[in-house]
Amino acid sequence: VLRKRVVAQKGRDVKALDADVEAAWRETAERLRQERNVAEGLLREENRSVRDRIAEAGAQGKEQKHLDADVEAARRAAADRIVFEKKLAKAQLNSENRVLWERLGQQKTSQKTALDQEILDARREAAARCESEMAEAEEALRAENWVLRRRVVAQKGR
């Protein structure tokens, strides 16, 4: 009995809509679906036309996709010439380097040793000078610290 009453009470409950409202909902849903289908169709058509224009522009473009055989042969010849010139320059550089290394090897070993000895002596002198300066600076700091300690002790005694 209660169930029959609830079924008969259409329109009073939030979940139970009357027939007019349900029909309006269905009409709205159908209209929206049709509008969406029309919009998708228009978008599809526009995309197709854009793709066609792109394909047409690619076919009639200013830039050729394939070069003439003469142009390709000239490009290959230029590339081969560049590779040859680089190899030639590298060989020449290696030859010059070899000559320079031979000259260096022919120099007297005493000159090399003397130069190296001069550098070593200069380094030793600089290290000794630096060490003596550091020792003097440390001695000056020790003396200064001693004077400061004496002042602190004298002030505490007052």
* DSSP per-residue letters across the chain: -HHHHHHH-TTTSSS---HHHHHHHHHHHHHHHHHHHHHHHHHHHHHHHHHHHHHHHHHT-SS-SS--HHHHHHHHHHHHHHHHHHHHHHHHHHHHHHHHHHHHHHS-HHHHHHHHHHHHHHHHHHHHHHHHHHHHHHHHHHHHHHHHHHHHHHHHH-
- Of 51-60, 96-105, 106-115, minimum mean pLDDT range: 106-115
Q: What pLDDT does 9 receive?
A: 62
pTM of the model: 0.29
Question: Which percentage of the chain shows pLDDT scores above 90?
Answer: 43
Q: What pLDDT does 118 receive?
A: 81
Q: What are 115-149's pLDDT values in tens digits?
A: 677 888 888 999 999 999 999 999 999 999 999 98
Q: What are 103-113's pLDDT values in tens digits?
A: 777 765 555 55
Q: What are 38-52's pLDDT values in tens digits?
A: 999 999 999 999 999
